[in-house]
Structure 1
Amino acid sequence: MSEIHYGGDAAREDRSLIRSMWRGFKCRCPNCGDGRLFDRFLKVTPQCAKCGEEFHHHRADDLPAYLVIFIVGHIVVGGFMGVEMTSGLGLWQHLAIWVPLTIIGSIVLLQPVKGAVVGLQWALHMHGFGGEEDRLDHHPEL
């Protein structure tokens, strides 16, 4: 396995970003791909049961929700506009189609997107996944 050097003397192994995010999207450990990433719907397991990789220090925060809103919003708005241009559906019919589609799409995508964000953080050695604590950047000019 090749090594990449990130500042200083610390050497880190190369982690495949696409593979890690895909494993996370499938709700699997980004390291081994076998262990479960979630204990509950959105609660990330503290440690992989298969390889022992620790996940307790991840910081997905609000990024998965923003990404889901972005994805579902584009699908729903694009679909709504396409249907509106080609048919004469009434307001209640649009509500009956697009509100449930928005809710279901958001619920279905939230866990896989959060898994992909955790996979992204793991692949890029962010937030404790690189073996060291996060450092705060000090900006004396502020």
Structure 2
Amino acid sequence: MAEDHAHLPSPYSTGLAGRCPRCGEGKLFEGFLKLRPRCVACGLDYGFADSADGPAVFIMLIAGFAVLGAALAVEIAYEPPIWLHLVIWLPLAVIVCLALLRPMKGLAVALQYVHKAQEGRREQ
């Protein structure tokens, strides 16, 4: 198994950068979150990739923990009015989620490729 992965670039660097998990050169995304059908550099078919809601769930947990923690700290220290909380924390939560979504989806796809993850099937 180690021999198979010896020539592959790191799934963490390629996934977070939005690059092909096999060659590390071609772009993974066609739009903001839409995957290309295949790598333009090495021809890898991205049909295997199905990250589903995994990246979004992790991002909501991470961003929710960070933004809520910061909001609670500000509330305890300064007691600002509720409208100020909304003006500060809602845009910050949206920005953090959007900033992390694409790299996390790329990482999920790269890890799927490296570990040969695929949909579960029943043996007949």
Q: State TM-score, norm by structure 1.
A: 0.78
More strand by share: 1
Cα distance, 1:65–1:82 mapped onto 2, change above 3 Å: same
Higher relative contact order (Cα pairs below 8 Å, separated by 6+ residues): 2
1:49 aligned to 40, 52, 55, which one?
40
Tell me whether 1:61 sits opposite 2:46 in the alignment. no
CA 1:16–1:137 in 2, change beyond 3 Å: closer, same or farther? Answer: farther
Point out the structure with max Rg over C-alpha: 1
Let me know the Cα RMSD of the aligned residues: 2.4
Runs of 4+ more than 3 Å apart: 15-18
Given the alignment of the two structures, is residue 37 of structure 1 paired with residue 31 of structure 2, yes or no?
no
Give 1:91's match in structure 2, choosing from 58, 72, 82: 82
Change (3 A) 1:18 1:95: farther
Paired position in structure 1 for 2:68: 77
Shift of 1:52: 1.4
Show CA shifts across 1:36-76 (max 9, x none): 00011111111111111111221111111111111111111
How far residue 20 of structure 1 moved from its aligned partner, in angstroms, is 0.6
Q: Identify the residue that residue 121 of structure 2 maps to in structure 1.
A: 136
Tell me how far apart the structure 1 counterparts of residues 83 and 108 of structure 2 sit (CA, whole Å).
36
- What is the alpha-carbon distance in structure 2 between the residues aligned to residue 98 and residue 135 of structure 1? 39
The answer to which structure has the higher helix fraction is: 2
Residue 137 of structure 1 deviates from its aligned partner by 3.1
Query: Which runs of 5 or more structure 2 residues have no equivalent in the other structure?
Result: none
Unaligned runs of 5+ in 1: 4-12, 128-133
Q: What is the TM-score normalised by the length of structure 2?
A: 0.88
Number of residues paired by the alignment? Answer: 124
